[in-house]
Amino acid sequence: MTEYGMLSRKIATFLSAVCLCLSSSCATWSSGSPIQAVKKIYLKKEKGNYFLCLDFNGDILLTQRVHTLPNGIKAFLSFKKEVALPKSKRLSHNLIKGCFFEKFSPESLMFMAAFKKDVIFTDNESTSRYMKIGFKINKKPLIVLDASHGGKDFGVVGIGGNIEKNMTLATAIELLDLLQKSGKYQALLIRDGDVFIPDLERILKINSLNADLLISFHTNDDDMRGISVYTLPNLNLLKQSPNSSVVMENDDYYKTLSLSKKFARYLIGYIPKICRKNRPRRSGHLKILEVSSPAVLVEVGSILNPRDNELLHMRSFREKFNRAILCAIDKFFEKGKP
């Protein structure tokens, strides 16, 4: 299981067993038993920065530095005395999804916290009696770029031995660079090298990242020239498909699909007509799009077609294409995260 998957599982387990929430400014949660290691846990806000604080009853030692995960943190705490698992209370807070403890040994605990919003971790501080984890709300949209295929999966093998997995990776890396230089977005690649990653693993990763937009790149699987953009079909069509693993409720599915279609429309609008395929906006049951974020699959052209193959190997052509994507992203997020 991946670390992301493990976090989700731990949090799911936790939410049914231990639900810790905090009030908006500085609520506390006190343990009931004298042998509880954790005295209280609370949230503080100072100059726009938040701190998740834990006070302890006994002397602690952080056995590793605080480890940050997408939308979560993990810390290992060891105590001089034998400790009990902290008991829980039900509270609520609009930033914290949950906090979770697990006993590792008689004298150590693992602490995990998950956030409802996308956060950036700032600084951590710990003494033998408290731990303070700094974070702020991340307002930059997160865009995940998926270079399809990779490793043993070559995708389409085109003219002159050009292969799809290399083409999609080059396109994704160059778009990542543009997005980072814009300073307006966080951007991540699902793969940044020639590695094989199964679709299910890609989907789990994208969902755990809580992405605001997924763009997956392919080349056309025929020799027809031009760019096209795919979104998922309507839910009833998708449910007829034997391989569908969509678990979203109808309302969530349609909300996400309508955002995906909106982005696809913007993107097609920024691509010159001469570079598009006929009917460039398409829908299809494409596994990678079964994510909880708005998502499109872009076929960037055909490496089986001599003219497209030549264009796709020109960095200047790919740059124009990626700039069109950037314009569509700017339009999609012009009023903030949708």
Site residues (vs Zn ion, CB under 5 A):
148, 155, 218
Tokens 């920065």 -> residue: 49
Compute the distance between CA of residue 185 and CA of residue 175 in angstroms, rounded to an integer: 12
Residue among 29 and 230 whose Cβ is closer to Zn ion: 230
Would strands 60-62 and 72-79 be described as parallel, antiparallel, or unpaired? antiparallel
Q: How far is the CB of 82 from Zn ion (least distance, A)?
A: 56
Which residue type sits at 153? D
Q: How far is the CB of 285 from Zn ion (least distance, A)?
A: 14
Compute the distance between CA of residue 303 and CA of residue 36 in angstroms, rounded to an integer: 64
C-beta separation of 154 from 163 below 8 A = yes
Residue among 93 and 218 whose Cβ is closer to Zn ion: 218
Q: How far is the CB of 233 from Zn ion (least distance, A)?
A: 18
Q: How far is the CB of 218 from Zn ion (least distance, A)?
A: 4
Q: How far is the CB of 279 from Zn ion (least distance, A)?
A: 19
Residue among 75 and 190 whose Cβ is closer to Zn ion: 190
Q: How far is the CB of 48 from Zn ion (least distance, A)?
A: 44
C-beta separation of 98 from 14 below 8 A = yes
Query: Closest residue to Zn ion, Cβ-based?
Result: 218
Residue among 168 and 208 whose Cβ is closer to Zn ion: 168
Compute the distance between CA of residue 336 and CA of residue 338 in angstroms, rounded to an integer: 6
Residue among 155 and 233 whose Cβ is closer to Zn ion: 155
Residue among 107 and 223 whose Cβ is closer to Zn ion: 223
CA distances, 136 to each of 67, 115, 293, 314 (Å): 16, 11, 22, 41
CA-closest candidate to residue 4, choices 70, 59, 63:
70
**Residue 33 neighbours by CB distance under 10 Å:** 11
